[in-house]
Chain A
Amino acid sequence: MAVSEVDLKVGHGQAYAHHGELLQGMFADEQGYLHYGLVTLPCMLFHTEVTFTVTPNSEIIVEPATHSKAFQAAKLTLHYCNRSGHGGHLKLNSNIPLKMGFGSSTSDVCATIRAVAQACSFHLLPEEIAQIAVQAEQASDSIMFDTQQTVLFAQREGIVLEEFHKPLPVLEIIGFNTDATGQGIDTLTFTPIHYSHQEIEAFRVLLAGLRKAIALHDPYLLGRVTTASAYINQRYLPKPHFDRLLQLASKTGALGLQVAHSGTIVGFLFDPEIAELEERVQMILTHLFEMGFHISHRFRTEKRTSPRKNTA
């Protein structure tokens, strides 16, 4: 397709962070083939905003230059939108903390893909964004899907293994970073886990629990699922003080624990309707402070918010 000067446009894109996963493991599809998969917990506390201006020369300039995966995403999106010969100016603005499991990289990549597509007058489906995202960064979370749309996502293939057709029950999350040094984890250097066949069997039951928790809008069952997933993950990327955190969760009437399976953040899940929520949260914060964790964050899974849509 020939591109005229008139096509040169500016596009905007935005994407939220996530707070690790509700469930992560290995799951069989209908044919019985196994896939790595996860269910993301979206977190609207943080987000990335991107502006992209198409230029006729082939150079892509990323600002700030540290967002290397965004460069790759922009290049792939231009190609996908039939603008292979073009480049542009990519400007990112993100408040997402790095390397803790907030998904800053996927958020950069998604916002970039949206901005570039908009600049090219393309409207991409979440499934298309997912495909480009995994090409750009090898493994992505499912933040490209509407926060109302919970999916089991194959993070290395960029495909949806299962849709749950309903939003998550509303949850109040008290999260913190278990890695006080802030060094974090680089998702790319984290090699795929070799789950035992017992664990792969167990994931089937946890997935059934997640389906039912979403269908019934049952936050208690959801908390059991996330805790069990976190527990299995202790074999691969252990969170420090896990037993103590579990005890604290049960003592404060939390629904359970939830972790970033390839990061260092942990969340206490609460039913926002629970009596004396503030007292319970305070108790958690006091204990965390005693354990040396002075910084925490708090958010809710929203009933209805989603990133600004690209309407090209």
Chain B
Amino acid sequence: MRKIYPTTIEAIEAPTLIRITDNFYVVAFRLMKLLPAHFILDRAQQAGLLDIGSIIIETSSGTFGLALAMICALRGYRLILVSDPVIDTSLKRRLEELGAHVEIVSGVEAYTGIQQVRLDRIKSLQEEHPGYFWPSQYDNPHNPEAYTPVAELLVEALGHVDCLIGTVGSGGSLCGTSNYLRMLFPQLTVAGVDTHGSVLFGLPDQPRLLRGLGNSLMPKNVAHMAFDEIHWVNAAEAFLATRILHRTHALYMGGTSGAAFLVSRWWAQQHPNATVVALLPDEGYRYQDTIYNDDWLRQHNALLTQLPEQPCLVSHPHEVNENWSYMLWKRRTYEQVLHYPFLGGQSRGQ
């Protein structure tokens, strides 16, 4: 029977599974963050925390904010988004069109620590609006729990998955999906994709050109013990991979999709007998003037002509160089990895 979706949310949140090669598949989302936004707000509604006119406060200048704004527009919730100044104007217009109030925190010259400033602003907004609801995607366990539809899709379509690869921002998508898949496939290899300047897997915090993945703070939803492998992909590499994904497969996706594609394509080539799946979080339209624009890439010193063929294997996060690198995380905790005696001599970290 042909399905009729009850609302736009259900229609857009459902991802598409596409075969790239014999052993390599991608889960392409139009807007992945609809899944956790939808699940978190449904649970809050069921718990009696939300009603028409309720105020939702969140910090986001990206896809999670957009997902929230879409649902709030349909359900009549009032949304206040606290954002940093890097928010692109067309997204800001779209959020406002959906009825969200976008608050830009300013007066912060240095990029580093802006997330903390955003969190501080949230605190004061919360004092202004008692009875608010805070979805808190970084720490809310309902974020990873929202990914059953992805696990269901993979189980039902493929019957078996050997390796799942995705980018890590809040950790929700990859930790959530893999947690469900491992109920059936405990051996599943999980490879997380992070970027340079992100603290998630032990690198120092720095300004990042590649947005959406990585983090300056450590979210509770990053379950370090879920990861077998961690890759660090720099912005230029991710952007070129995004373009190549479009050129070769006509998949018009965002920059984090490019990062996931770069790593997963390599992984699938290395393991021809394994079924490899990558999560591609959003579409390319938001990035037409940036990632898909050579002038912008050149201005930002992020125009590459060739992708590295393979990553550089390191044994400790401190060994990571500025290019695509990876290490075997081996399902350890952050502390176990970072405090593991570091024996390398040639690293800039020592």
Tell me the nearest residue of chain B to A218, going by C-beta.
Answer: B159
Question: Do B155 and A208 touch (CB < 8 A)?
Answer: yes
B159 close to A204 (CB less than 8 A)? no
Q: Mark A207-221, 1 if CB is under 8 A from B, else 0.
A: 011011100101001
Contact of A205 among B155, B159, B160 (CB under 8 A): B155
* Secondary structure type dominating chain A contacts: helix
**Residues of chain B with a CB closer than 8 A to A288's CB:** none
What residues of B have a CB within 8 angstroms of the CB of A216 in the complex?
Answer: 159
- A212-B156, A218-B159 are contacts. A205–B185 as well, Cβ < 8 Å? no
Is there contact, CB below 8 Å, between B184 and A228? yes
Instruction: Return the CB mask of B160-175 against A: 1 if under 8 Å, else 0.
Output: 1000000000000000
Point out which of A198, A209, A211, A216 has the most chain B C-beta atoms below 10 A from its C-beta: A209
**The residue from A201, A206, A212, A231 contacting B159, defined by CB atoms under 8 A apart:** A212
Residues B43 and A206 in contact, CB atoms below 8 Å apart:
no
Q: State the CA gap A72–B156 with chains docked (Å).
A: 41
For residue A202, CB closer than 8 A to chain B, the reply is: yes
B333 beta carbon closer than 8 Å to chain A: no
B86 contacts partner chain A, Cβ-Cβ < 8 Å? no
> Within the complex, what minimum Cβ distance (angstroms) separates A142 from chain B?
22
Q: Closest residue of chain B to A204, judged by CB? A: B148
Instruction: Say whether A208 contacts B160, CB under 8 Å.
Output: no
B152: contacting residue among A198, A208, A218, A225, CB under 8 A: A208
Residues in A whose Cβ lies below 8 Å from that of B152: 204-205, 208
Given contacts A205-B183, A206-B184, contact A221 B148 (CB under 8 A): no
Q: Given the complex of chains A and B, what is the CA–CA distance between A64 and B181 in angstroms? A: 49
Query: Which chain B positions have C-beta within 8 A of A204?
Result: 148, 152
A205–B181 Cα distance when bound, in Å, is 8
Q: Number of A residues contacting the other chain (C-beta, 8 Å)?
A: 19
Set of chain A residues within 8 Å of B184, measured between Cβ atoms? 205-206, 209, 221, 224-225, 228
Hey, which chain A residues are within 8 Å of B181, CB to CB? 205
Expressed in whole angstroms, the Cα–Cα distance for A201 and B42 within the complex equals 14
Number of interface residues of B (CB under 8 A): 15
* List of A residues within 8 angstroms of B155 by Cβ: 205, 208-209, 212
Give chain B's interface secondary structure class.
helix
Give residues of chain B (184-210) contacting chain A, Cβ–Cβ below 8 Å: 184-185
Distance (whole angstroms) from the CB of B157 to the closest CB of chain A: 8
Within 8 A of A (CB), among B126-166: 145, 148, 151-153, 155-156, 159-160
Name the residue in A198, A205, A218 with the highest tally of chain B Cβ atoms < 10 Å from its Cβ.
Answer: A205
- Minimum CB–CB distance from A222 to chain B (whole Å) comes to 10
State in angstroms the CA–CA spacing of A270 and B7 once bound together. 45
A202 to B152, CA, bound (A): 9
Say whether A197 faces chain B, with CB atoms less than 8 Å apart: yes
Expressed in whole angstroms, the minimum distance between the Cβ of B32 and any Cβ of chain A is 17
Residues on B with C-beta less than 8 A from A212 are 155-156, 159
**Given contact pairs A197-B43, A198-B145, A205-B148, A221 touches B183 in the complex (Cβ within 8 A):** no
Contact B156 A202 (CB under 8 A): no
Docked CA distance A218–B183 (Å): 17
B residues 42-56 touching A (CB-CB < 8 Å): 43
In the complex, what distance in Å separates the CA atom of A231 from the CA atom of B184? 11
* A202-B183, A205-B180 known; A221-B160 Cβ under 8 A: yes
The 5 closest A-B pairs by CB, nearest first: A208-B152, A208-B155, A208-B156, A224-B184, A201-B148
Contact surface of A with B, Cβ cutoff 8 Å: 197-198, 201-202, 204-206, 208-209, 211-213, 216, 218, 221, 224-225, 228, 231
For this complex, 12 residue pairs linking A to B, each with C-beta atoms less than 8 Å apart, are A197-B145, A202-B180, A204-B148, A204-B152, A205-B155, A205-B180, A209-B156, A216-B159, A221-B159, A224-B185, A228-B183, A231-B183
B residues near A (Cβ < 8 Å) are 43, 145, 148, 151-153, 155-156, 159-160, 180-181, 183-185
